[in-house]
Chain A
C-alpha cells in the first residue's frame, strides 16, 4: 500500500509535488484569512465580560494551536527520519522548526497583550504559560543544534532526536489547565463537550484556525522546497533546474 509513496523518496519528485501543492495552499489560506479576519473583527458580537478585547482570540488561539500542530508534525517526521532514515523527513523537521517557533512567539506575545488588560499582568508563571515558553525554547534549541554541526547528516539526526525528546511537552501544554490550578482559563473548543463559546463567535474562530493551518502548510512547503535545493545544490537535477530558469528569464528580458 505504500508503493505509491516510493517515488517521493527522491528529492526531485518531492520538490515537484510541493511546488504543485503550493499555489493551492496560498490561495486557500488567503481566502480563509480574509473571511475569518473580517468576520471575527467586524461582525462577531462583543463578549459579555471582556467586550471587544476578546477579539484577540482570533489570533491567539489559532497561533497557539498551530505552534503545537507544527511540533507534532515535526515529531512524526523526526520519528520517520530516525527509524527509516529518510533524509526528506529530516528536511521536513528542520524546515518546520522556525515556522513553529514564530507561531509560538505570536501565541506568547498576543497572550501577554491580552493578559495585561484582562488579568492585570503581562506574565504569570502558571503552568500553561510556562510550558508554552518551554515550547519556544525547544524550537530554538532544535534550530541551534541543527546549525551547530557542519555535517548535515549528523545535524539532521541530532535535531530529530531533540525533537522527539521535546514531544513530551505537548500533552503537558494541553492538559496544564486541567492538571493544575492556573490563571489561564480552561479549554474552550478543544474538548469533548460542547464548545463554551456562542456559535456566532465560534464560526470565525474555526475559519481562522483553518486559515492558520493553511498558512502553516504554505510556509512549510516553501521552506521544504528551499531546504531541498540547498542540500542538493550540486546535483544535476538542481543545476538543470537553474539553467532552465535562467533561460526562461533571458527570454523574458528579450
Chain B
C-alpha cells in the first residue's frame, strides 16, 4: 500500500470511528428520552437508571401487560379500565374512553398514552396493542397454553 493510500485509509477509519463514538455518546445521553414508554414499576419506583419519577399531571406513555380479570367495562358507554403490570411486579390502573384495538385482551402487552392522575392511575386517550415477536399457528398456541408464553419484554 503506498503512503497516500495509507493516509486515506487512516483518515477514513478515523472519520467512521469518531462518528460512531460521538453518536454513541449522544444516544447514551438521550437514553431516557428515547424510551417510548414507562413501565408500571418505573412509574411507581422511578426510572431504573436515574430513579426519576414522573410527576402527577404529566403526559406519558405506559407499557405493560393487562392483568387478567381487571378489565372493567361500563355497560352504558365505551369507558373501560384495566390494570397493567410488568416484571417488576407493580401495577398501575388505566382509564380509557374509546375503542380498543383488536389485539387488546387480558394478558396482552399494550402501550397507553395519557395523563398521570395520581401515583398509580392514568387517564389514557390512546391505547395501542403491542404484540410479541413470536409467530405460531393456533394449534401450537393452544398446546402451549398455561406455559405463560405471552410475555412482554418491557423490563430488559
A contact residues vs B (CB 8 Å cutoff): 45-50, 54, 57, 79, 82-85, 117-121, 124-127, 161, 164-165, 167-168, 172, 178-183, 185-188, 196-198, 200-201
Contacts and interface: CB of A to CB of B under 8 A. Distances in A.
B12 A83 contact: yes
Given A120-B101, A120-B129, A181-B154, A168 B134 contact: no
SS class, residues of chain B in contact with chain A: mixed
Contacts of A183: 36-37, 63, 111, 128, 130
Contacts of B29: none
Contacts of B131: 49-50, 118-119, 185
A119 B132 contact: no
Contact of A127 (B34, B101, B140): B34
B102 A118 contact: yes
A188 B135 contact: yes
B134 A83 contact: no
A82 B8 contact: yes
Interface in B19-48: 19-20, 23, 27, 31, 34-37, 39
Contacts of B27: 172, 179
B145 to A, nearest CB: 10
B19 A200 contact: no
A118 B137 contact: no
Given A83-B8, A120-B101, A197 B135 contact: yes
B136 A201 contact: yes
Contacts of B139: 45
B43 to A, nearest CB: 13
B70 interface: no
Contacts of B137: 45-48, 198, 200-201
Contacts of B36: 124-127, 180-183
A142 B28 CA distance: 27
B127 interface: yes
A59 to B, nearest CB: 15
A5 B54 CA distance: 60
Contacts of A83: 5, 8-9, 12
Contacts of A118: 101-103, 129, 131
Which are the 8 A-B pairs with shortest beta-carbon distances? A48-B141, A120-B101, A45-B137, A198-B136, A126-B36, A185-B133, A196-B134, A181-B35
Nearest to B102: A117
Nearest to B104: A120
Contact of B19 (A79, A117, A168, A172): A168
B3 to A, nearest CB: 13
Nearest to A125: B36
A204 B126 CA distance: 35
Contact of A82 (B12, B111, B141): B12
A118 B108 CA distance: 12
Contact of B128 (A50, A124, A172): A124
Nearest to B135: A197
B153 interface: yes
Contacts of A180: 31, 34-36
B146 interface: no
Interface string B118-156: 000000001111111111111111100000000001101
